[in-house]
């Protein structure tokens, strides 16, 4: 039987942590209620999705790397207290396919990946590209002020800001998760963050968006 899949992202750019919780809980309640009534639903929760594709506001890892290698983001983001679970887009796709075949109706699975901070992402990127690591850390309050400026500019240009104050609010929290259940029941096999970043960096380089 074909399963109806509900994808609910942990990290939604542009929402505060409280707003994110509210946005997430309502569809979960509806889905679980439907599952209890026999509707074939499996709930899937990706982490921060990254990978080759389009460089949009939603591809936050790619955007961060572009800003980092262009020099517009000259340092680490805060003190590195943030933690996210990074999910490569291809792994998430495979997880969806596996859930259609092996997922238990009404169950919830985390299609997450390696947990790391964006500071660790920058360090990995530096090692992969044989470039220098950032030398300074930019306080989140400074990044938040920069975000407000970008929001004002976006109202004039019509372009989405690279970073916004609600995004900074998300960066102040930890979003670490385990995908052991998906590994056991769906045979979910997320790649390492280093492997995924290497692929993303080559893709960005080929597009001419980063140089190293």
> What are the structural domains of the chain?
4-137+171-206 (3.40.50.720)
Burial code (b: 16+ CB inside 10 Å, e: under 16) for 155-177 equals eeeeeebbbbbbbbbbbeeebeb
Tens digit of pLDDT for each residue in 156-190? 988 877 777 877 877 787 889 999 999 999 999 99
Instruction: List the Cα angle 175/99/21 in 5-degree steps.
Output: 30
Q: Look at residue 191 and tell me whether its pLDDT is greater than 90.
A: yes
pLDDT, residue 21, reads: 55
pLDDT, residue 171, reads: 79
Most confident stretch, 49-53, 65-69, 193-197: 193-197
Least confident of 136-140, 143-147, 161-165: 161-165
DSSP state of 120: H
Question: Which are the contacts of 195, defined by CB distance < 8 A and separation ≥ 6?
Answer: none
Is the model more confident about 152 or about 34? 152
Question: Which are the contacts of 149, defined by CB distance < 8 A and separation ≥ 6?
Answer: none
Tens digit of pLDDT for each residue in 12-64? 344 444 555 556 677 778 877 887 888 888 999 999 999 998 887 778 899 88
Q: Look at residue 1 and tell me whether its pLDDT is greater than 50.
A: no
Q: Look at residue 192 and tell me whether its pLDDT is greater than 90.
A: yes
Least confident of 66-75, 149-158, 159-168: 159-168
């Amino acid at each position: 039987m074909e399963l109806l899949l509900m994808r609910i992202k942990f990290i939604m750019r542009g929402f505060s942590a409280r707003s994110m919780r509210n946005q997430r809980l309502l569809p979960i309640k509806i889905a679980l209620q439907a599952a209890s009534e026999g509707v074939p639903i499996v709930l899937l929760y990706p982490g921060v999705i990254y990978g080759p594709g389009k460089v949009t506001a939603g591809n936050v890892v790619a955007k961060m790397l572009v800003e980092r290698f262009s020099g517009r983001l000259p340092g680490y983001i805060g003190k590195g207290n943030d933690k996210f679970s990074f999910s490569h887009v291809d792994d998430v796709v495979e997880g969806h396919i596996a859930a259609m075949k092996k997922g238990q109706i009404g169950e919830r699975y985390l299609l997450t990946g390696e947990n790391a901070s964006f500071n660790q992402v920058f360090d990995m990127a530096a090692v992969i590209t044989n470039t220098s690591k950032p030398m300074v850390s930019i306080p989140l309050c400074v990044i938040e002020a920069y975000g407000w400026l970008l929001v004002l500019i976006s109202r004039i240009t019509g372009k989405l800001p690279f970073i916004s104050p609600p995004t900074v609010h998300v960066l102040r929290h930890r979003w670490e998760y385990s995908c052991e259940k998906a590994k056991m029941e769906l045979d979910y096999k997320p790649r390492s963050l280093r492997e995924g970043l290497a692929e993303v960096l080559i893709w960005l380089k080929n597009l001419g968006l980063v140089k190293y």
